[in-house]
Amino acid sequence: MNGPVFILRGNIVYSKNQKELNICEHGYLVCRDGQVEGVYQTLPFRMGGNPIHDHGDCLIIPGLVDLHIHAPQYSFRGLGMDMELLEWLETNTFPEEAKYESLEYARKAYQIFADNMRRSATTRACIFGTVHSPATLLLMDMMEKTGLDTMIGKVNMDRNCPDYIIEETEESAGETLEWIRDVLHRKYQNTRPILTPRFTPSCTDELMEELKKLQMRYGLPLQSHLSENQVEIAWVKELCPWAGFYGDAYDRFGLFGADCPTVMAHCVYSGEQEIERMKENGVFIAHCPESNMNVSSGIAPVRTFLERGLHVGIGSDVAGGSTENLFRAMAHAVQSSKLRWRLTDDSLEALTAEEVFYMATKGGGAFFGKAGSFEKGDEFDAVVLDDSRLKHPQPLDVRSRLERMIYLADEREIRAKYVKGKEIDLT
């Protein structure tokens, strides 16, 4: 390959594996044709003459991956948190999501979401829209313009929700088909459709069957919620007495991994059988620690997932989570794992900075293919962090500076961002 080459210079940090970092101080990260060519301590002679962006003492990390976020809920982030999941859905979520029937409202609200995602350290995301196809297409147009690489879904729900937002089964399936066709016509570069049954309580068996047909016809991935809250789980048992466990209620329809690339948010209460099935089927888990605290769901056994070799990434789950800032989500993942260890189960050691960084980059990135790291051939998603605002009386090593970013970074630290080799406008 002889495509265009450019080089970023700085302190390059990425995951070697779940437990260790690769660090190359004052090194060179080479991009060729939108992919990583390599990380070098000394620039190979043959690469001299290509443009070098020297970021001095800045940190350069892979772009962060948000495996679970709700775009329409961005408008009420940080509001109405004093409730458990199901009451929170009825009181805050459904009334707000209903507003996206109006394209005028959607345009205003989604612009704020798209702008803030663009300026964040996130380069890839799996995003829920609402049941409304026009607003979801508008969201996709807007996200495409940001340059971020995303999967976005029109939500399906044909039972157990208020009249003002519920769909008829046929209408839900038909609208989804039309939406997929419309998306494919638009020939986006960076925006893909993803099937989005909200969760088992809001989708009938008939609707799940229809979604499977669409999944096979178009080879689509799928995102949903799983084993988030105890009342929700008991409800799924009532609705699907034939299911061996919650995840089985998706798997019966072929909507739980295997030939359907799947990401499930939460998995706070996944038992042995569910964990085993997720492993067998290659289901990705989106760990959403802030949301799990805010709507009082619990704390997922993330170390078990990691030790068992499951795919685990991080989700902000706005507006269960209050912020799209994935550095916050990483810190919450470490902090909540410590409380879990201290208060409920000392057999699972707390997560480390290395582990949550892995989850927010390479772990979630794998859902998008070769993303989330700086191995040769990975898609070139990078974030340059300037932490000079955060003064320290002594020099800190690069690992410590990365840890500090996890706890302290906001958009002020983000100096540049690239997705597939293209620089993103941060203004």
Edge-to-edge strands, sheet with 122-128: 191-193, 149-153, 122-128, 64-70, 311-314, 284-287, 262-266, 222-226
Token couple for 4: 């265009």
CB of 153 to Fe ion, least distance (A): 11
**Contact call for residue 9 and ligand GUN (CB under 6 A):** no
CA 125 – CA 135 distance, rounded (Å): 18
CA 216 – CA 368 distance, rounded (Å): 19
CB of 233 to ligand GUN, least distance (A): 11
**Contact call for residue 77 and ligand GUN (CB under 6 A):** no
Closest to ligand GUN by CB, 50 vs 296, is 296
**Contact call for residue 294 and ligand GUN (CB under 6 A):** no
CA 250 – CA 247 distance, rounded (Å): 5
Contact indicator for 214, 195 with CB cutoff of 8 Å: yes
Residues in the chain: 427
- Among 169, 227, 291, 325, which residue sits at the site for ligand GUN (rule: CB under 6 A)? 291
Q: Which residues pair with 192 in a beta bridge?
A: 151
CB of 133 to Fe ion, least distance (A): 20
Closest to ligand GUN by CB, 70 vs 415, is 70
**Contact call for residue 96 and Fe ion (CB under 5 A):** no
- Among 251, 290, 317, 324, which residue sits at the site for ligand GUN (rule: CB under 6 A)? 317
**Contact call for residue 287 and ligand GUN (CB under 6 A):** no
Stretch that binds Fe ion, among 143-151, 244-252, 317-325, 395-403 (CB under 5 A): 317-325
Which DSSP string do the residues of 403-420 spell out, in sequence order? Answer: HHHHHH--GGGEEEEEET
**Contact call for residue 158 and ligand GUN (CB under 6 A):** no
Report what 303 binds from Fe ion, ligand GUN, none; CB cut-off 5-8 Å by kind. Answer: none
**Contact call for residue 290 and Fe ion (CB under 5 A):** no
The set of residues, in sequence order, having a beta carbon less than 8 Å from that of 276 and lying 6+ positions away, is none
The set of residues, in sequence order, having a beta carbon less than 8 Å from that of 220 and lying 6+ positions away, is 180, 193, 194, 195, 214, 260
CA 89 – CA 121 distance, rounded (Å): 28
**Contact call for residue 118 and ligand GUN (CB under 6 A):** no
| CB-based closest residue to ligand GUN | 320
Closest to ligand GUN by CB, 228 vs 251, is 228
Apex CA 324: angle with CA 120 and CA 322, to 5°? 145
Closest to ligand GUN by CB, 71 vs 419, is 71
For 266, the enclosing helix (H) or strand (E) is strand 262-266
**Contact call for residue 228 and ligand GUN (CB under 6 A):** yes
CB of 399 to Fe ion, least distance (A): 32
- Among 232, 317, 354, 378, which residue sits at the site for Fe ion (rule: CB under 5 A)? 317
DSSP assignment, residue 424? Answer: P
CA 151 – CA 190 distance, rounded (Å): 8
CA 286 – CA 275 distance, rounded (Å): 14
**Contact call for residue 89 and ligand GUN (CB under 6 A):** yes
**Contact call for residue 70 and ligand GUN (CB under 6 A):** yes
**Contact call for residue 144 and Fe ion (CB under 5 A):** no
**Contact call for residue 93 and ligand GUN (CB under 6 A):** yes
Binding track over 179-218 against ligand GUN, x by CB under 6 A: -------------------xx-------------------
The set of residues, in sequence order, having a beta carbon less than 8 Å from that of 192 and lying 6+ positions away, is 150, 151, 152, 183, 221
Report what 63 binds from Fe ion, ligand GUN, none; CB cut-off 5-8 Å by kind. Answer: none
Stretch that binds ligand GUN, among 29-37, 85-93, 137-145, 162-170 (CB under 6 A): 85-93
Closest to Fe ion by CB, 11 vs 130, is 130
CA 377 – CA 364 distance, rounded (Å): 17
Q: Which residues pair with 333 in a beta bridge?
A: none
**Contact call for residue 290 and ligand GUN (CB under 6 A):** no
Q: Under the rule (CB under 5 A), what is the footprint of Fe ion? A: 265, 317
Residues lying near ligand GUN in the complex (CB under 6 A) are found at 70, 85, 89, 93, 198-199, 225, 228, 291, 317, 320
